[in-house]
Amino acid sequence: MGLEAWYMDSSDEDQRKLHRLNPNQPVSLEELQKLGVFYWKLDADIYETDPELEKIRKDQGYSYMDIISIHKDKLPNYEEKLKMFFEEHLHLDDEIRYILDGQAYFDVRNKEERWIRIAMRKGDLITLPAGIYHRFTLDETNYTKAMRLFVGEPVWKAYNRPADDFDIRQKYMASLQGS
């Protein structure tokens, strides 16, 4: 199955729930691409030797890689980190994540400020463009293991909203004008 995404409801129920509208309003891969979000489906069981992953890393210049397990028994300051990941923020660089196990959600804002929830499962690789407002959460399974990819040295700095006056945010917004 390919990537699944949908417009979110405005309920303040547990962030790990689906938060689908009724009826569901799906969002296509094409719509996500217009926002600068790109997706690949890979075989996570062979990530250490996968030629397809190697090619993507080479083509995109993703020289840095590490692996993070997000689970209460594996991640120090787990609760605090989850809260931080779910704060609406942007980065000055693209965010690249490859789900090796478990599942999670990325939420991104569209041009009209609506939240789109992207369900990430094992084998999903996604890139979020620098300057896009987004947040991350686990689903109700409370576990994911993800590869973090980066061009050059990693910079883990997040800028919580409001960050509209950042150059990267202005550039990102300008890139949406044509779409």
Q: Has 134 been labeled as part of a binding site?
A: yes
DSSP-based helix, strand, coil % in the chain, nearest 5:
20, 35, 45
Q: Has 95 been labeled as part of a binding site?
A: yes
Q: Has 19 been labeled as part of a binding site?
A: no
Based on the number of CB atoms within 10 Å of its own CB, is 137 exposed (0-12), middle (13-18) or buried (19 or more)?
buried
Q: Has 89 been labeled as part of a binding site?
A: yes
CA distance 145 to 45: 12
Task: Give backbone dihedrals phi and psi of 151, rounded to 5 degrees, phi first.
Answer: -85, 115
Say which DSSP state 84 is in.
H
- Could you tell me if 160 and 123 are in contact, meaning their C-beta atoms sit under 8 angstroms apart? no
Q: Which residues are annotated as a binding site?
A: 89, 91, 95, 134
The annotation places the binding site for Fe(2+) at 89, 91, 95, 134
Residue ranges for the known binding site for Ni(2+) are 89, 91, 95, 134
